[in-house]
Each structure stands twice: as structure tokens, then as C-alpha cells.
Amino acid sequence: MWRYGLGLCVALLVAGCESTHDQMVGRGYPPAYADGFQDGCSSGRQAAGVMVGDFRKNVPRYLHEPQYETGWDDGFRQCKATQDSAEQQQYHQRFWDQRDRDWQQEKDRGAARAWRPD
């Protein structure tokens, strides 16, 4: 299920300007599922701290339409995980970049000490 969802997210990002809802319906998903996915995805991005998305959940539909509920849950989980992963990757990249700079600086200082005439 996870690989399927990740593939869906990648396909949706690559598709371009067409809305997520339109892409999903075009791929055969029920409109209620696509509505829920779109709302859940926006909510998941917002929950992960992205200011672009806003929390959207049609509670009556969520409680009474299983396809909307499933779509919302899938969209929320996948988009939040994608955003969390991107943020974690950025954090680690900054950490390792700083660590590499510190190591290079220490290496250069050691080389300078080694080559300095006494």
C-alpha cells in the first residue's frame, strides 16, 4: 500500500498543472475519494508545517462517505509523510554540510601546521 501511495504522489506531482482531483478522476478513482485525498493532502501539508496548505475536512462527508474518508486519510498520511521527509532531508543536509566544512577546515589547519617550518 505504501509503495502504491508513493507512486501516486509522484505521478500527481509530475503531471503538471492539472489539479490533483482531475488527475485522480482521470485515472479512475471515484470522485469522492479524489475529493477526500485532495482535502487530506492539504491538511497533511499544513500539519507538517507548510504554510501553503490549509486544514480541510468535510466532517459530514468523512463520517458518512467511506470513499471520502479513505481518500482523506490516504492524502493526509502521504502528503504529511512526504513533507516531513523533505524537511528531515534538508535538516540532515545542512548538518552534514556543516560537518564537512568543519572537517575540511580542521584538515587544512592540520596540513598548515605540518608544513610550517619550525
43-64: average pLDDT: 83
With cell 501553503, the residue in question is 52
Residue with the bigger pLDDT between 51 and 82: it is 82
Q: Report the pLDDT value the prediction gives residue 31, as an integer from 0 to 100.
A: 95
Helix and strand totals (H; E) in the chain:
5, 0
Assess whether pLDDT exceeds 70 at residue 67.
Answer: yes
Residue with the bigger pLDDT between 15 and 90: it is 90
Give 50's pLDDT tier (boundaries 50, 70, 90): low
With cell 532531508, the residue in question is 89
* Residues 46 and 79: beta-carbon distance below 8 Å: no
C-alpha 23/C-alpha 112 separation (Å) is 59
